[in-house]
A and B are shown apart, each in its own frame.
Chain A
Amino acid sequence: MRPDLDPEQLDRYSRHIIMNDVGPEGQAALLDTDVLVVGAGGLGAPVLQYLAAAGIGRLGIVDDDVVERSNLQRQVIHGDDDVGRPKVDSAAEFVTGLNPDVTVDRHELRLARENATDLVADYDIVVDASDNFATRFLVNDACTLSGTPFSHGAIFQFEGQVTTFSGDSPCYRCLFPEAPPEGTVPDCATAGVLGVLPGTIGCMQATEVVKLAMDYGETLEGRLVAYDAAEMSFEEIPVAAKPDCPVCGDDPAIASVADASYEGRCSLAED
């Protein structure tokens, strides 16, 4: 951990440093943490904003999409002039503009079986801010198999789900062993989403990452918060380790991401 902060950092992070429960040590921990954010869309936008502002030392951004006008209703790090540009470029510019202290790694690619293990290995904490089940199961498996803590956030219309996994057990597959059959659970493009919803859920994910980085407080490990923006209600759903979990159970069938398929149900690979 860095022993000291330079004068500009002492100024920039003064409202952190002044808190007894953060202090220069907590800020130094944030500056020494590397976080991989998978998805620079609705959830990724507030995650990147607050992690950049908090002074996370290195932020990796994974996304293979370009900014579309229909994204701007919720993806607040991209502007009208960014339409047509790669999201990683627009997101990286936002982060650097907000806080030049942060090193940004642009990964303009889709997280895949071939690259997930190596990408995850290069970071301390992963944020699942993706928009599809295939990526979500891949993030879970790559993180759980490598013991990397990760934050899970997902949204649907007025509802959000957010939880934190330590990288050990339980994992997302303890809750949902397989993805739903394709087409049964609609995505944002089909079902729509309240623009501010990913702001709320993404901010909760960023909060969890900051706490993990500083090793402070109680995370959402073992419980999933189901948020309903229409009712302004929060419910907790228990997340318990399942002995027959295919990834973190007693006799796991998935020992590497090569053992699973990340299409359709995201279950065991045929080969």
Chain B
Amino acid sequence: MEWKLFAHLRDAADGQSVSVDIEEDATVETALDALLASRPALAEEVLDENEELADHIRVLVNGEDPFAAADGLATAVDEETELALFPPVSGG
């Protein structure tokens, strides 16, 4: 499946999308683990000091917020799911 990245996360991952292999019972969380295993430099950008997804990084599942529309990081995903990590930007 594919993760889409925005803004400075593209620099950290060296690309705007990253393909990862997932298991059959994958969730957003295991797909995120697979992404960070594939692109370790991203971990510093998207995880907080407790190794959890940082408050300022939005995760999107098929363009929607899984914390509002589904089960958050426990939301089931498959090969067809579009996942994205979206940070704020500040330039003007």
Q: Which A residues form the contact surface with B (CB < 8 A)?
A: 39, 41-44, 128-133, 136, 153-157, 159-161, 175-180, 184-188, 191, 193, 198, 226, 235-238, 240, 242
Contacts and interface: CB of A to CB of B under 8 A. Distances in A.
Interface in B9-54: 45, 54
Contacts of B88: 133, 154, 161, 175-176, 179-180, 185
B3 to A, nearest CB: 14
B63 A153 contact: no
A39 B45 contact: no
Interface centre among B56, B58, B87, B89 (most CB of A within 10 A): B89
B92 A156 contact: no
Interface centre among B60, B86, B87, B88 (most CB of A within 10 A): B88
A176 B92 contact: no
25 contacts: A42-B91, A42-B92, A43-B92, A130-B90, A131-B90, A133-B88, A153-B92, A154-B89, A155-B89, A155-B91, A156-B90, A157-B7, A161-B88, A175-B58, A176-B55, A178-B56, A179-B88, A180-B54, A180-B56, A185-B7, A188-B92, A226-B6, A236-B63, A237-B60, A238-B63
B8 A156 contact: yes
A176 B58 contact: yes
Interface size class of chain B, counting residues whose CB lies under 8 Å from the partner chain = 20 to 34
Interface of B: 6-8, 45, 54-56, 58, 60, 63-65, 68, 86-92
B7 to A, nearest CB: 5
A42 B56 CA distance: 24
Contact of A129 (B58, B60, B92): B92
Given A176-B58, A180-B56, A133 B7 contact: no
Given A159-B6, A179-B56, 11 more contacts: A41-B92, A133-B90, A156-B7, A159-B7, A160-B89, A175-B88, A185-B88, A188-B91, A236-B63, A238-B63, A238-B68
Contacts of B89: 154-156, 159-161, 185
Interface centre among A39, A176, A177, A198 (most CB of B within 10 A): A176
B68 A177 contact: no
Nearest to A178: B55
Contacts of B45: 184
A132 B6 contact: no
A41 B58 CA distance: 27
Given A156-B7, A180-B54, A226-B6, A238 B92 contact: no
Given A42-B91, A133-B88, A175-B58, A185 B65 contact: no
A131 B92 contact: yes
A128 B6 CA distance: 21
Contact of B87 (A160, A180, A188): A180
A161 B88 CA distance: 8
Nearest to B7: A156
Nearest to B44: A184
A249 to B, nearest CB: 13
